[in-house]
Amino acid sequence: MLDINLLRRDLDGVVAQLQRRKNPQPFLDVARFSALEAERKQIQTATEQLQARRNALSKQIGQLKGRGQDTAAQMAEVNGIADELAAGAKRLEVLQAELQAMLMSLPNLPQAGVPDGADESGNVEVRRWGTPPALAFTPRDHVDLGLPLGMDFETGAKLSGARFTLLRGPAARLHRALAQFMLDTQTLEHGYTECWTPYIVNREVLEGTGQLPKFKEDMFWVLRGGDETQAEQYLISTSEISLTNTVREQILDAAALPIKLTAHSPCFRSEAGSAGRDTRGFIRQHQFDKVEMVQITHPDHSDAALEQMVGHAEAILQKLELPYRVITLCTGDMGFGSNKTYDLEVWLPAQNTYREISSCSNCGAFQARRMQARFRNEQGKPEFVHTLNGSGLAVGRALVAVLENHQHADGSIRVPAALQPYLRGAEILRP
């Protein structure tokens, strides 16, 4: 959430920053915001004047009573002021709620160095690693490779509908091995604390990280016992949600920063707006696993932490011997809560292109302000922390990339050396 004082000080500047995101419709109704602010100021000024008048009357009443004089007129005026103050407070509460709703709908402001652009065509490549494999045969896609290994789309659809998959045998073991390898790398080499989090969270938790209220259609809503009157809860779309909210409504010691957390969890997304995209295979699922990285940092250190986090995701890809590239997302392609985002895209031979496998974002104080997550600065005053999140990595897409990049002509899969200890030393994966 943006600081409302920033809008009050420099509304035109904030609007200009929001326009960099290239949204077809304005994010902020400037006229409505200005009208609400003007009325808020008027009520607060009137309240101060009424309170001053009430104080003066109270003093006058005391003096009159001391002289034994009648105070009926003054008492009547005090009662009238009380009614006016109550009405003003009630109206102010309505105004504040509408202003809060407007703030909750506004995305983060992009950093100055983020490239301007309307969509993914405006993204900027930063670097590449590895060389796409020069296969002496026509590469098969992960579906053709995965079916004999136990990737079962038909049964997944029978159980749960489209975009659900059942993994058996070698495919399931490879999936488990990848997740375990990623967790071990993030914890043992990169210094993250492993967590196991709830997969169902409350509404206010999703508001804290920015999924609600704007992206409710992307979430799976949980009805406990089918009762819609129960507390509003949702399945997590990423463990970023639960990991980041571990510091909500806290004031941390500066010495405790940075906090580095990781978790392996299923993620549940309705994929609203994705109809017709990646309908074949394991690329875009309603349920998928991901190893998430989250950092809670001092504001001065968040930009460096973002670069570090990207490096942690890159290390996984390099150990898996997967060619990839790093791109900076443009303003129109960034996520709602991010002020800067890097995507890592892995090479998929069958598609002859790079596809996203990790997204690493600096959210600045945007999520922290929504969560009221703070630390005590050098002056001992509470200040909002900065939050960062990144995929380290999406397990299913890593499985797809391993199958396609390390395939042999006979359909067997070469197991990267880093994964072999997790597959009982196997060097080749066969049906």
Catalytic residue among 237, 302, 359, 361: 359
Q: Could you confirm whether 356 is annotated as catalytic?
A: yes
What is the torsional sign of CA 141, 144, 145, 147? positive
Reduce the secondary structure of the chain to three states and give it as a string.
CCCHHHHHHCHHHHHHHHHCCCCCCCCCCHHHHHHHHHHHHHHHHHHHHHHHHHHHHHHHHHHHHHCCCCCHHHHHHHHHHHHHHHHHHHHHHHHHHHHHHHHHCCCCCCCCCCCCCCCHHHCEEEEEECCCCCCCCCCCCHHHHHHHHCEEHHHHHHHHCCCCCEECHHHHHHHHHHHHHHHHHHHHHCCCEEECCCCEEEHHHHHHHCCCCCCHHHCEEECHHHCCCCCCEEECCCCHHHHHHHHCCCEEEHHHCCEEEEEEEEEECCCCCCCCCCCCCCCCCCEEEEEEEEEEECHHHHHHHHHHHHHHHHHHHHHCCCCEEEEECCCCCCCCCCCEEEEEEEEECCCCEEEEEEEEEECCCHHHHHHCCEEECCCCCEEECEEEEEEEEEHHHHHHHHHHHCECCCCCEECCCCCHHHHCCCCEECC
Backbone φ and ψ for 129, nearest 5 degrees, come out as: -135, 140
Contact status, residue 167 vs residue 150, Cβ threshold 8 Å = yes
Q: How far apart, in whole angstroms, are the C-alpha atoms of residue 53 and residue 386?
A: 44
Catalytic, 34? Answer no
Looking at 39, 204, 356, 383, which residue is catalytic? 356
Please count the other Cβ atoms lying within 10 Å of the Cβ belonging to residue 322.
25
256 φ, ψ (degrees, to nearest 5): -80, -10
Q: Given the residues 269, 369, 370, 374, select the one marked as catalytic.
A: 269
C-alpha triplet 397, 297, 299: angle, nearest 5°: 120
Contact 279, 255 (CB under 8 A): no
φ, ψ of residue 288 to 5 degrees: the values are -150, 160
The residue annotated as part of the active site, out of 40, 128, 140, 284, is: 284
284 is catalytic: yes
Q: Is position 176 annotated as part of the catalytic site?
A: no
Q: Is 397 tagged catalytic?
A: yes
Beta bridge partners of 56: none
Q: Which residue among the candidates 302, 358, 397, 404 is catalytic per the annotation? A: 397
* Residues identified as active-site: 269, 284, 356, 359, 397
